[in-house]
Amino acid sequence: MNDSLTLQLVGEFIGTLILILLGDGVVAAVTLKESKAQGSGWIAIALGWGLAVTLGVYCSAFLSPAHLNPAVTLGMAIAGVFPWSSVIPYMVAQTLGGVVGAIIVWINYYPHWEETKDSSAILGVFATGPAIRNYFFNFLSEFIGTFVLVFALLAFTRGKFTEGLNPIVVGLLITAIGFSLGGTTGYAINPARDLGPRIAHQILPIANKGDSDWAYSWVPILGPLAGGAVGAFLYLLIP
């Protein structure tokens, strides 16, 4: 592994860690008992995730392309703007960043897990889950959300954003997806965002936690990967 790729992987790890720390952190703030932000609702969560993405990109863009998302990495490779040889290393670094970010959320809210008796709410801090469990439509929802994400990111490359403003626009995109499409599954639209924290939920001694719902875990992995791939293919069809 060359030094350039190593630095890029560090960037992807750091950016995804920040993304999950702030994203899962806002869910914890809204969900967990005795939190001062408890009950703030979906608007707080959607805005918090948008800001989490923006700040994750800012924290990592000096080291890497700041994909912070395996579906984005795959889409960029399909679109021909990212080397295929780096796809798997990027995905691993992103997922590990997700694990560590979720562990820090657990530490930050440590006393609140004991106060929160709802195991499904605790899992919801770490991983996504469907409002109505229907695997086909859950998959379709993740597919559509990530299709919009990757197609829009590629479209942005044809625009005239200054480099400094691009992370803000990406954060607004994530916020829009959350508001408009996220109510069905919690809009993972990012395999590392779901898999990394779900692994953390599985391995951590979290008070009052229940099952990690691995039966559902394939949806926020394969749905985003498929949606990102199709978004990139469609982008390539536009001259």
For 205-212, what is the mean pLDDT? 97
Q: What DSSP line would sit under the chain, residue for residue?
A: --HHHHHHHHHHHHHHHHHHHHHHHHHHHHHSTT-TTTT--HHHHHHHHHHHHHHHHHHHTTTS----SHHHHHHHHHTTSS-GGGHHHHHHHHHHHHHHHHHHHHHHTHHHHHH---HHHHHHHHS---SS--HHHHHHHHHHHHHHHHHHHHHHTTS---TTTHHHHHHHHHHHHHHHHTTTT-----HHHHHHHHHHHHHS--TT-----TTTTTHHHHHHHHHHHHHHHHHHH--
For 85-108, what is the mean pLDDT? 98
153 has a pLDDT exceeding 90: yes
Tell me the pLDDT band of 160, cut-offs 50, 70 and 90: confident
120 has a pLDDT exceeding 70: yes
Q: What is the pLDDT of residue 239?
A: 82
Least confident of 26-30, 164-168, 191-195: 164-168
Please state the domain count of the chain: 1
Q: What is the pLDDT of residue 150?
A: 98
> What single letter denotes the amino acid at residue 34?
E
CA geometry: angle 177, 185, 188, nearest 5 deg = 60
For 70-97, what is the mean pLDDT? 98
Tell me the pLDDT band of 101, cut-offs 50, 70 and 90: very high
1 has a pLDDT exceeding 70: no
Tell me the pLDDT band of 5, cut-offs 50, 70 and 90: very high
Tell me the pLDDT band of 159, cut-offs 50, 70 and 90: confident
Location of structure tokens 């990111």: 153
Q: What is the pLDDT of residue 234?
A: 97
Q: What is the pLDDT of residue 164?
A: 78
**Residues shown for the chain:** 239
For 162-190, what is the mean pLDDT? 94
| Angstrom distances, CA of residue 181 to CA of 37, 122, 147, 149, 223 | 24, 23, 12, 11, 14
CATH label of the domain that carries residue 100: 1.20.1080.10
The range of the structural domain enclosing residue 83 comes to 5-237
Location of structure tokens 């200054």: 162
pTM for the structure as a whole: 0.96
CB-CB contact of 45 with 178 (8 Å): yes
The C-alpha atoms of residue 182 and residue 177 are separated, in whole angstroms, by 6
The C-alpha atoms of residue 188 and residue 14 are separated, in whole angstroms, by 19
The C-alpha atoms of residue 58 and residue 78 are separated, in whole angstroms, by 24
- Could you give the percent of the chain with pLDDT greater than 90? 94
